[in-house]
Chains A and B, each alone.
Chain A
C-alpha cells in the first residue's frame, strides 16, 4: 500500500518570509579547498521580463567531487564544504553567489560527470520547481557528460555558464578573487533553458 507524494504548490510571492534564514550569497567558508567562482545571473520569463520573485536552491559537490553531510556543523574542527545554498532574485531578476567549482561526480554507469551545479528554481507561477544544471565552459569532461548527452546539441548552451573573468589559471591561490561566470535562466520561449524531470 503506497500513497503518492503530497502535491506540490507554488511558493508564491511571499516565500522570503519563511525561506530567508537559509539565504546567503557566499557558500564558501575560509579554509575550504577549491577554486572560487562567482555565478552571476538573471531569471527571465517568456517575454524576456525579469523575474524579481524567484528563489534558487543550489546543490553541488566539493572540489574533490564529494557531496556534503550535515550542514553548519558546529563542533567540526576542519571546515567542511556544505554544498547547499539558497539565493533570491532582486528587483532586476538578478542573482549572484560565490562558491567553489565542484569536482567530478560518478554517474550510474561508473563514468564521471563533468563539474556541474544542480539548480532548483522556485517562484510565483511555478506550481512545482524547475530543475536544471549549470555546467562550466571549456571543461574536458563536458564532451562525455552522460547528462549533457541527453540534451539536444542545439540546446546544450543554455546549461553552460559563460566565463567573464580571468580564465584558465592553474593553482589559483585560495584568496584570489573568484573567477566570474554569467548564466541566464529563461523560463519559456526563445533560448528557453533546458529543464529536467527527475
Chain B
C-alpha cells in the first residue's frame, strides 16, 4: 500500500532528551528506548485554530496595557514553512518572553529585575496565506538561572506552533544575532548540528525595520510536513 508519510529529522538536527549540561534533563529524560510509532490518524490529525482564538493587540506586545511597554521596540516576523518550502497558512503561533529587564511576569520568576506594568510578555497570531506572521514586541533581556555557577540565559523569545497535525507540533526559542551568551547556553547548544542550531538565531532585517520606530528581526520556522512523494509502506 502507498501512504503519504512524514519524514524523520536528519541526525543531529534535533536535541536528544538527555543533555547533561542542561541539568534539568538528567531526571526528566526517559532511560528506556522510545517506541517507534507508525503514523495513524491520531498523529496525522491535530487541532485547527480559528481567529476566535486571537484577540486585539495579541500581535502587539507593546500595546496590551494603558501605557506603552518599556524597552527597545522590535518587530519580529517570518514565515512558517514545511521542509520543502511550502507556506503553512493558518498556523497558530504563540509567543512568550521576558520584559526588557530580563524578568518574566510569572510567580515563579524570582529574578531581582523590575517588572514593567505595561508589559505582559505573551502574544499569539495566525499565519496568513503565505505562512507569514508578525509581532511587535520589546527586545527581551538576558537573565540568570540556577543551572550552573553564574549561568545566564541569552535573550530569547519562546515560540509554540501548531501546524497541520500533531506531527508538526513545535515549541522552540528564537535568539538574537551576536549575543555573547550563546556559546555558553546549554539549551541553545543542546542541538548537536551547527547549522540547525544557528537557524534558531534570528536575522537582523532592514526590510522590516521601520524608520524612526523599530528594528526588524526575521525568524523563519520550518515545521515537519508531509513529503510530496508518497513512499512504499510494507503491507
- Where the two chains meet, the residues of A that have a C-beta atom closer than 8 Å to any C-beta of B are 1-19, 21-22, 45-47, 49, 51, 53, 57, 59, 61, 67-74, 82-84, 105-109, 113, 116, 118, 120, 122-131, 133, 146-147, 150-151, 155, 187-189, 192-198
Contact = CB atoms under 8 A, between A and B. Distances in A.
B46 interface: yes
15 contacts: A4-B10, A6-B222, A9-B188, A11-B158, A47-B27, A59-B42, A82-B47, A106-B40, A108-B1, A108-B233, A118-B42, A129-B169, A129-B171, A150-B37, A188-B31
> Which secondary structure characterizes the binding site on chain B?
loop
B24 A124 contact: yes
A7 B45 CA distance: 21
B107 to A, nearest CB: 9
Contacts of B52: 72, 74
Contact of A14 (B16, B17, B108): B108
Interface in B170-187: 170-173, 187
B32 A151 contact: no
A198 B43 contact: yes
A5 B164 CA distance: 14
Given A3-B222, A11-B158, A107-B40, A198 B167 contact: yes
Most-contacted residue by chain A among B13, B47, B95 (CB, 10 A)? B47
A116 B235 CA distance: 24
Contacts of B32: 155, 192, 194-195
A99 B52 CA distance: 22
A17 B170 contact: no
Interface residues of B, number: 80
Contacts of B41: 61, 67, 105-106
A45 B169 contact: no
Contact of A6 (B22, B31, B37, B221): B221
Contacts of A193: 30
B9 A17 contact: no
B85 A45 contact: no
Contacts of B109: 14
Contact of B83 (A2, A46, A72, A129): A2
Contact of B172 (A6, A14, A46, A124): A6
A6 B170 CA distance: 8
A51 B9 contact: no
B48 interface: yes
Given A2-B83, A129-B169, 11 more contacts: A7-B15, A8-B15, A71-B47, A73-B50, A107-B40, A118-B43, A122-B171, A127-B25, A146-B38, A188-B28, A196-B34
Contact of A127 (B47, B187, B199): B187
A5 B94 contact: no
B226 to A, nearest CB: 12
Interface stretch (B63-71, B118-126, B205-213): B118-126
A15 B28 contact: no
Contact of A126 (B25, B84, B105): B25
A6 B108 contact: no
Given A59-B47, A118-B42, A127-B15, A17 B31 contact: no
Most-contacted residue by chain A among B7, B10, B17 (CB, 10 A)? B17
Contact of A187 (B28, B35, B121): B28
Nearest to A133: B42
B95 to A, nearest CB: 6
A6 to B, nearest CB: 5
B184 to A, nearest CB: 16
B161 to A, nearest CB: 9
B106 A14 contact: yes
B17 A127 contact: yes
